[in-house]
Chain A
């Protein structure tokens, strides 16, 4: 079973103001607050004046940049307690977004991936979006057998909360599902599991 070498994992960017933007929509989670602060500092006052920042303080590592973001002058800041809430706010903002909107995403892979799903639904092009990964590389995993999604997976083998099977996380990422692939780890001989290892998260 092939589980090494990730060719499908997204390649991330470094957030920087996109000069072509007429509106700037920036959404971050947890450690993603840090690149967001840097992005805002790199913006001109005029760009900050047309920027909306959505920040979720939910974090796997416990890092929060809420206080620092509050201290930035002249931005429209929306604070959320959870990633789900932040994504809902993003959805609402995208539903009324106009041409010239530029999207900035920062945070965990699962968060960026699910935000990308929303952006794709609203027809944003890849060149209208920048993504910067921050914090832990914990994985969001899709179970191929029961269709359940599990957030924050750190081990190569884990038990699927959906179907109870022990899954091995393959190094294969689907942008459409915003998740890595999990398949039954002891598929060939029950109980014969591959080596348990920390994911190169």
Chain B
């Protein structure tokens, strides 16, 4: 694994809420390492699954990426869980084995990929976990939930960036069995828990008609432990707000009406989702993590001008049905108009930035 060029400087006190005045910011390096999700000038849905192998020295370097926002994001998760108990974290009773699987996967990955921050020491089933970024030093017995202060999945994912949805395999289908979803984009975990694969994808347009879901489900059911796959997805959101659940829609939806062509650069954020899926070894469940990155359009222009040009073209040519589904119908035109000022029409490379010859951030 390639070492990062410089140690990450963690920002510990930034906020993702209006109460906290949205102090979230990206550094230049933070922007240029993003898993930018537009390989072409035109965007259309695809399964775009690829083997989750280390690539480049950005977000695709580790199994579970952490970045400069790790500490503040973990604090935000704790605040959200405290504010709305039983809404952001749920696990069906029979998911305990998968919970331990997930804890193991996250802790082993972090300790392997970031030994400077995390250490996992195993003596049989007695595990010693050290998380120096959050100041955690615990010992527990693997497989014995009474030795942890929280359920294993909650304990582990409170120390992880991104959402985690665990799918159990049942009758050749995948059913949502557990989730840690303090950053979800306009859905409800309480509502979706227990849903089958086609059910929880129900609201997404075009997928069913295009046959993508059929192929995706067949592919996922063939997944084997130790061979993760990944895809990227994206949306737009207003303000650097991570928690945009259905439950709190009355709080965040009005922000969509505040965007105009003057303020779009500061207000509108690209929300990138990196989804590295893993088959879990004991439970045979599949974990579907959604590692979310926020970057404002202005930050893209300043630190990654070629990516800003690319997103301008992708948004300008986007299928109206997707604009509607992704929820930015009201400010789509403003975002495109603002970005147009920063696009000279120069040809851009195709392919994801972490792929050979793919689009780079530009200078």
Tell me, yes or no, whether A174 is within 8 Å of chain B by CB: yes
**Contacting pair A174 B253 (CB below 8 A):** no
B93 shortest CB reach to chain A, Å: 11
Could you say which residues of chain B place their CB within 8 Å of the CB of A170?
Answer: 203
**Contacting pair A188 B191 (CB below 8 A):** no
Could you say which residues of chain A place their CB within 8 Å of the CB of B205?
Answer: 2, 5
Could you say which residues of chain A place their CB within 8 Å of the CB of B249?
Answer: 144-145, 183-184, 187
Question: What would 28 A/B residue contacts be, using CB atoms closer than 8 Å?
Answer: A1-B324, A1-B327, A2-B324, A2-B325, A7-B198, A7-B201, A8-B198, A8-B200, A142-B191, A144-B249, A145-B247, A145-B249, A172-B191, A172-B202, A174-B193, A175-B195, A176-B191, A176-B193, A181-B188, A181-B246, A183-B246, A183-B249, A184-B250, A187-B249, A187-B250, A187-B253, A188-B253, A188-B330
B201, B253, B327 — most chain A CB neighbours (10 Å): B253
The one of B191, B193, B200, B208 in contact with A144, judged by C-beta atoms closer than 8 angstroms, is B191
Tell me, yes or no, whether A6 is within 8 Å of chain B by CB: yes
- Give me the interface of B with A, judged by CB distance under 8 Å: 188, 190-195, 198-203, 205, 208, 246-247, 249-250, 253-254, 256-257, 324-325, 327, 330
- In the complex, A190→B256 CA distance in Å? 12
Contact with B along A158-190 (1 / 0, CB 8 A): 000000010000111111110001011001111
CB-contacts of A1-44 with B (<8 A): 1-2, 5-8
- Give me the interface of A with B, judged by CB distance under 8 Å: 1-2, 5-8, 142, 144-145, 165, 170-177, 181, 183-184, 187-190
Could you say which residues of chain B place their CB within 8 Å of the CB of A174?
Answer: 191-195
- In the complex, A189→B330 CA distance in Å? 10
**Contacting pair A184 B253 (CB below 8 A):** yes
- In the complex, A110→B204 CA distance in Å? 24
The one of A1, A7, A175 in contact with B194, judged by C-beta atoms closer than 8 angstroms, is A175
The one of A7, A172, A177 in contact with B190, judged by C-beta atoms closer than 8 angstroms, is A177
The number of A-B residue pairs with CB atoms under 8 Å apart is 71
The one of B194, B202, B250, B325 in contact with A6, judged by C-beta atoms closer than 8 angstroms, is B202
A167 shortest CB reach to chain B, Å: 11
The one of B195, B253, B257, B330 in contact with A8, judged by C-beta atoms closer than 8 angstroms, is B195
- In the complex, A189→B254 CA distance in Å? 6
Could you say which residues of chain A place their CB within 8 Å of the CB of B190?
Answer: 177
**Contacting pair A187 B203 (CB below 8 A):** no
Could you say which residues of chain B place their CB within 8 Å of the CB of A189?
Answer: 254, 257
**Contacting pair B202 A8 (CB below 8 A):** yes
Starting from the known contacts A142-B191, A145-B250, 15 additional A-B residue pairs (CB-CB under 8 Å) come to A2-B205, A5-B205, A7-B202, A8-B199, A144-B191, A145-B247, A165-B250, A172-B191, A173-B199, A174-B195, A176-B195, A181-B188, A187-B249, A187-B254, A188-B330
* Nearest neighbor of A177 in chain B, beta-carbon distance: B191
- In the complex, A103→B210 CA distance in Å? 36
* Nearest neighbor of A174 in chain B, beta-carbon distance: B191
Knowing A172-B203, A189-B254, say if A7 contacts B191 (CB, 8 Å). Answer: no
- In the complex, A5→B208 CA distance in Å? 11
Could you say which residues of chain A place their CB within 8 Å of the CB of B246?
Answer: 144, 181, 183
* Nearest neighbor of A180 in chain B, beta-carbon distance: B191
Could you say which residues of chain A place their CB within 8 Å of the CB of B203?
Answer: 2, 7, 170-172
* Nearest neighbor of A4 in chain B, beta-carbon distance: B205
Could you say which residues of chain B place their CB within 8 Å of the CB of A188?
Answer: 253-254, 256-257, 330
- In the complex, A37→B35 CA distance in Å? 60
Could you say which residues of chain A place their CB within 8 Å of the CB of B192?
Answer: 174
**Contacting pair B202 A176 (CB below 8 A):** no
Instruction: Give the top 10 A-B pairs by smallest Cβ distance, nearest first.
Output: A7-B202, A187-B253, A176-B194, A8-B202, A8-B199, A144-B246, A174-B191, A188-B253, A184-B250, A187-B249
- In the complex, A174→B175 CA distance in Å? 12
- In the complex, A50→B193 CA distance in Å? 36
B126 shortest CB reach to chain A, Å: 35
